[in-house]
Amino acid sequence: MTAMCPAILVAAPASGQGKTTVASALARLHARAGRRVRAFKCGPDFLDPHWLALATGQPVHNLDLWMTGEDDARARLHAAAAESDLIVVEGVMGLFDGEPSAADLAQCFGLPVLAVIDASAMAGTFGALAFGLQHFRPGLPWAGVLANRVASARHAQMLQDALVGDGTRTDSFFLGAVMRDAAFSLPERHLGLTVASEIPDALARLDAAADALAGTPLGRMDTAALAQWSVSFASPSVPPAQTPSLSGKTIAVAKDAAFCFVYPANLDVLRGLGAELVFFSPLADDPLPPCDAVWLPGGYPELHATTLSSGTACRAGLSAHVKAGRPLWAECGGMMLLFDTLVTLEGETHAMWGLLPGTVAMQKRLAALGPQRLTLPAGELRGHTFHYSRCESSLEPVRRTEPARGGASGAGEAMYRLGSVQATYFHAWFASSPAATASLFLPGGTD
């Protein structure tokens, strides 16, 4: 049974054009009007979904034709369409960047593309960019173009005129101009946008952006106008039933400003496998809750190294957990916490929690980025890597991930094991293999 719902994919010619601001503002504008809005993020990003979730008040899932897979994406879009008045999907990088790209997702599901272009330093070239994005790939569903960071009403008119040019081109559906305004800028740091929960006026920023968007043709669209972007989402195939292999198990999940890179879908998978989830904060030095296994997800331990270094209760709890032979799965920032030392970009050295031998050091440049796969005896987990640190350890990797598209030997991320601790820079999408996921949280499950 198909489900119909207006949907739009917010894209851009490159990163840094304002996709997240516009997508969040559009979602916030309609949510404030009482409409049921669901938002999604194209690609593996952890940070932008925090802003989209704040705008909608709903969980935000990732859609990626390789990492999450077409069937998973179809199921999530179908479920959202059945209960929503609008679906907003934020693209990734530039519209045609990556394999798969945001354009691939748009074509796969028939999502009309809204191109957001930072027009702050252009006039006539705006028309060329919009025309190219619209026509570069035949058959791409198209909604229109929005000019962002515009200087004045006169500038906005120049941009709109550029879409038609000498009259030989058709208008690419100018949906308005958003003026440059610091009131709704979203702060950034080395991995991307700052997490919304860390910004005291985050919602006020989104409301200011929504107010600015409300003055554009895009922002003035009501339910009837949105219907022109209605998309029919086909019924998904029925997934195989999950074996409740974690039934009766309690998994403690680190959750705070230092460990916040968690896909909501991953928590759903663990619960679907029968696990009970409890949460704790290493940053607050919470005692480790009674549990059978621990998950330390990624985040920003480097920003909180001083506080984490002084923690005692949580460190003692994790140490006792490991000495008892209970599983501990650590991803990226979670792994960084477990090494002996962490060296910041400024050269400051902090004692970490010493459950793995070695040192992790922050780098000025990106150390690794891209989709990866981890092959375990129980199945293949898909995911990605994205980090600015490097680690040196006396441990030999027990296995390595592989780049999604192949690559040189050793190009993947190391997976370390010491006793019941398993750790890697790799971020896993648990739904890609529930059986492999379960094995991470069972004693000896990945042998």
C-alpha distances out from residue 250 to 131, 153, 274, 292, 326, Å: 54, 58, 9, 5, 11
Measure the CA–CA gap between 198 and 80, rounded to whole angstroms.
Answer: 28
Please name the residue that has the structure tokens 């990556």: 98
Sign of the Cα pseudo-torsion (64, 68, 70, 73, in order): negative
Q: Which of 42, 291, 314, 332 is catalytic?
A: 332
One-letter amino acid for residue 242 of the chain: Q
Structure tokens at 41: 């993020």
Q: For residue 5, indicate whether it is catalytic.
A: no
Structure tokens at 1: 């049974």
C-alpha distances out from residue 182 to 153, 218, 292, Å: 18, 21, 47
Q: What angle do CA 266, 404, 298 make, to 5 degrees?
A: 40
Structure tokens at 258: 């230092």
* Pairing assessment for the beta strands 250-254 and 293-296 based on DSSP bridges: parallel
Q: Report the catalytic residues.
A: 332
